[in-house]
């Protein structure tokens, strides 16, 4: 099963992708995580992407399309994948269609996670992750069971993304509305689009996604 989680930054795509990974034995393909790894490694892609990401803008389509096409070819994707953060523009959505057709793969569902902008600002500015295993948390909405200790691995170091600031969030939301939201009708016409209310609690969102996938 190949699924796209589509929604604005902070909608909960990463949080839900991790749950889908576990339950359905899929692989989360987060283009944001891939780019952050490229920036950390200092490779060519990372050098090109860093400033663009810090400004809250989108990395050029050709770079993103090559990145995801190569990743889908890896053997761990054979049972299916969850695209988190891709596609983000109409050319990316069209290129994804062609690459899936070429690779003989099908898209099961596109899940739109609907969340209002004002809520997203709080979600993003309060977000942090375990530096050891990458588990996601929030200052108010998803705290570890024991303060300062990761539920998943027991790690005690946490990090915040350099682009998770109140100013950058505004640019990222503008990019979402101008460049990403317009691809929703494209998937609507194909009959694969299902919307969920991303403003409910994390478990409730998971239940809505499971329903949407089951009904697809």
The catalytic site residues sit at 13, 88, 127, 161, 172
* Cα-to-chain-centroid distance, residue 209: 15
**141 neighbors 123 (Cβ within 8 angstroms):** yes
Cα–Cα distance measured from residue 172 to residue 56, given in angstroms and rounded to the nearest whole number: 5
Beta carbon of residue 205, minimum distance to ligand AMP (angstroms, whole number)? 17
Beta carbon of residue 145, minimum distance to ligand AMP (angstroms, whole number)? 25
* 52 lies in the site for ligand AMP, by CB under 6 A: yes
In this structure, the number of other CB atoms found within 10 A of the CB of residue 48 comes to: 15
Cα–Cα distance measured from residue 54 to residue 50, given in angstroms and rounded to the nearest whole number: 6
Q: Measuring CA to CA, how many Å separate 133 from each of 12, 14, 62, 152?
A: 18, 14, 30, 8
Among 59, 72, 96, 150, binds ligand AMP (CB under 6 A): 59
Residue 155 binding result from ligand ADP, ligand AMP, none, given CB thresholds of 5 to 8 Å by partner type: none
Neighbour order of strands in the sheet with 136-138 = 136-138, 127-130, 158-159
* 86 lies in the site for ligand AMP, by CB under 6 A: yes
Beta carbon of residue 148, minimum distance to ligand AMP (angstroms, whole number)? 24
Encoded tokens for 132? 């050891």
Q: Which stretch binds ligand AMP (CB under 6 A): 18-26, 29-37, 69-77, 181-189?
A: 29-37
* 56 lies in the site for ligand AMP, by CB under 6 A: yes
* 7 lies in the site for ligand AMP, by CB under 6 A: no
3-state secondary structure 66-81: HHHHHHHCCHHHCCCE
Which residues are near ligand ADP by CB under 6 A?
7, 9-15, 123, 126-127, 136-138, 141-142, 198, 201-202, 205
Considering only residues 125-184, where is the footprint of ligand AMP by CB under 6 A?
A: 172
Query: Which residues of this protein are in contact with ligand AMP, per CB under 6 A?
Result: 9, 31-32, 35, 52-53, 56-59, 64, 85-86, 88, 92, 172
């Amino acid at each position: 099963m190949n699924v796209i989680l589509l929604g604005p930054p902070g909608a909960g795509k990463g949080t839900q992708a991790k749950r889908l990974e576990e339950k359905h034995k899929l692989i989360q393909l987060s283009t944001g995580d891939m780019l952050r790894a490229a920036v950390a490694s200092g490779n060519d892609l990372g050098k090109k992407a860093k400033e663009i990401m810090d400004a809250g803008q989108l990395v050029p389509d050709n770079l993103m399309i090559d990145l995801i096409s190569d990743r889908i070819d890896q053997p761990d994707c054979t049972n299916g994948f969850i695209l988190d953060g891709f596609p983000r523009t109409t050319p990316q959505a069209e290129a994804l269609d062609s690459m899936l057709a070429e690779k003989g793969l099908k898209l099961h569902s596109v899940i739109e996670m609907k969340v209002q902008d004002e809520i997203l600002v709080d979600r993003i500015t309060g977000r942090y992750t375990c530096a050891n295993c990458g588990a996601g948390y929030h200052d108010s909405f998803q705290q570890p069971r024991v303060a300062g200790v990761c539920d998943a691995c027991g790690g005690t170091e946490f990090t915040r993304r350099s682009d998770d600031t109140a100013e950058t969030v505004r640019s990222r939301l503008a990019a979402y509305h101008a460049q990403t939201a317009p691809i929703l009708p494209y998937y609507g016409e194909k009959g694969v689009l299902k919307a969920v209310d991303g403003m409910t609690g994390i478990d409730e969102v998971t239940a809505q996604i499971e329903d949407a996938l089951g009904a697809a």
